Amino acid sequence: MKFNKTILIILLFVVAALALNFVMGGFAFDMSLLMYAKPTRWQGLISPYYYAVLVILGINIVLSVSLALLNGFTGLFTMGHAGFMAIGAYTSASIVTFMLPTAPFFVQMIVGSLCAGTIAALIGFLIGVSSLRLNGDYLGMVTLGFSEIIRIMLLNIDAVGGARGMTDIPQYTNLGSVLLLAVIVILFIKRIRDGRLGRAMLAIKENEMAANMMGINPLAIKVKAFVISSFIAGVAGSFFAHSEGYLSTQTFTFVKSFEVIAMNVIGGLGSLSGAILGAGILTVLPEALRKVQDITGIDLRMIIYALTMILIMILRPQGLMGNREWKWLSSK
């Protein structure tokens, strides 16, 4: 009956996401507003600024959760998530802009994000296979290098704007679709974690040799982790491209990769809830701190932001959630 329950939960979240978007997007019984159009100025309950922050939050949760599968569960320390995101973002933006400019939004969305995910997964597969012999910091270095190579390549392709950036990308991502994506991804990763594959991943993380002795093929599991994680990161990149409407390679530097890693670490490596919580904190905090500027007069945002991160790490070195999970995400 577990499968039925999952479907029920997904449906529940779909309804919740639609309802939330309905309330925030201006109480319109308009299908386009529900699933793809962005509210313009003050149509809804909240201003477009907070709306935009919530959309970014959703995308960051997806990124963070997908990295948790690699860094948290399988114990592969990778620093190249921005690269996968970049591939997804540019793939989807190119396909939608050059090949499907007039297609209905749901065709654009589905084709765009699936292609984005597939290409990212393909690259993830290649990186996974080619760096399987590496562990720990070395793997981190290789993935960091790969993500920079991807970025420099994109920087030199004139068709996608090069250094100037890619403009006029259709903006169909909205809160409804992003929340839906986030919920699907969270539940998907949860099921992987609680299933056979997830157990194997955890075993590899704890002791690769022992896992091998127990009949697990570490290479296959690691490649699977790479492929799934990069697929989701690619989809997140696609949603990002169509929420921003503008892409520049400046977004996808290693700083972005470290941000996603920081979300995982602050929340607690190895905890799905932690990845979500970390994404929430690191997305909302810098924006919330803009208010502080009104009181202090000078911009202390980055100082407070950094201090908060340091304090969390000193007071809770295992991350905010540690190894624990919220009830709805715990494995029984």
Contact flag: residue 167 with other proteins (CB under 8 A): yes
Quick check: 234 and 287 in contact, CB under 8 A?
no
Distance in angstroms (rounded) separating the CA atoms of residues 283 and 263: 9
How far is the first Cα of the chain from the last one, in angstroms, to the nearest whole number?
14
Per rule CB under 8 A, is residue 98 in the interface with other proteins? no
With CB under 8 A as the contact rule, which of the stretches 43-51, 112-120, 188-196, 218-226 interacts with other proteins? 43-51
DSSP designation for 250: G
Choose which of 110, 163, 210, 214 interacts with other proteins (CB under 8 A).
163
Q: Does 27 bind other proteins (CB under 8 A)?
A: no
Is 138 a residue that touches other proteins (CB under 8 A)?
Answer: no
What is the radius of gyration, based on Cα positions, of the chain? 20
Q: How far is the CB of 175 from other proteins (least distance, A)?
A: 12
Q: Is 8 in the site for other proteins (CB under 8 A)?
A: no
Our finding on whether 148 is near other proteins (CB under 8 A) is no
DSSP letter for 158, please.
G
Q: Could you give the string, one character per residue 229-268, with x where binding to other proteins holds by CB under 8 A and - elsewhere?
A: -----------x---xxxxx-xx---x-------------
Near other proteins by CB under 8 A: residue from 15, 210, 214, 302 = 302
Binding other proteins (rule: CB under 8 A), the pick from 210, 299, 316, 330 is 299
Question: Among residues 17, 35, 37, 56, which is the contact residue for other proteins, using CB under 8 A?
Answer: 56
Our CB check for other proteins shows the closer of 125 and 246 to be 246
196 binds other proteins (CB under 8 A): no
Q: Which residues contact 115 (CB under 8 A, 6 or more apart)?
A: 91, 92, 95
Q: Which CB atom, from 24 or from 68, has the smaller least distance to other proteins?
A: 24
Residue 247, helix vs strand vs coil: strand
Residue 22 parent element (H or E): helix 2-24
Residue 18 lies near other proteins (rule: CB under 8 A): no
Asked if 152 is part of the footprint of other proteins (rule: CB under 8 A), the reply reads no
Helix axes 81-94, 218-244, angle to 10 degrees: 50
Pick from 41, 133, 196, 332: which binds other proteins (CB under 8 A)? Answer: 41
Applying CB under 8 A, which of residues 5, 133, 196, 291 lies at the interface with other proteins? 291
Helices 105-130 and 136-155: angle between axes, nearest 10 degrees: 130
| Residue in the structure block whose two tokens are 């009956």 | 1
Q: Between 224 and 256, whose beta carbon lies closer to other proteins?
A: 256
Which tokens belong to 306?
Answer: 């950094």
Structural contact between residues 190 and 70, judged by C-beta atoms closer than 8 angstroms: no
Name the burial class of residue 137, with classes exposed (0-12), middle (13-18) and buried (19+) by CB atoms within 10 angstroms of its CB: exposed
19 binds other proteins (CB under 8 A): no
Q: Is 5 in the site for other proteins (CB under 8 A)?
A: no
Name the minimum Å distance from CB 273 to other proteins: 8
Burial string for 248-284 (b: 16+ CB within 10 Å, else e) reads: bbebbebebbebbbbbbbbbbbbbbbbbbbbbbbbbe
The residues of the shown chain that bind other proteins, judged by CB under 8 A, are: 40-42, 45-50, 52-53, 56, 163-165, 167, 240, 244-248, 250-251, 255, 284, 287, 290-291, 293, 299, 301-302, 326, 328
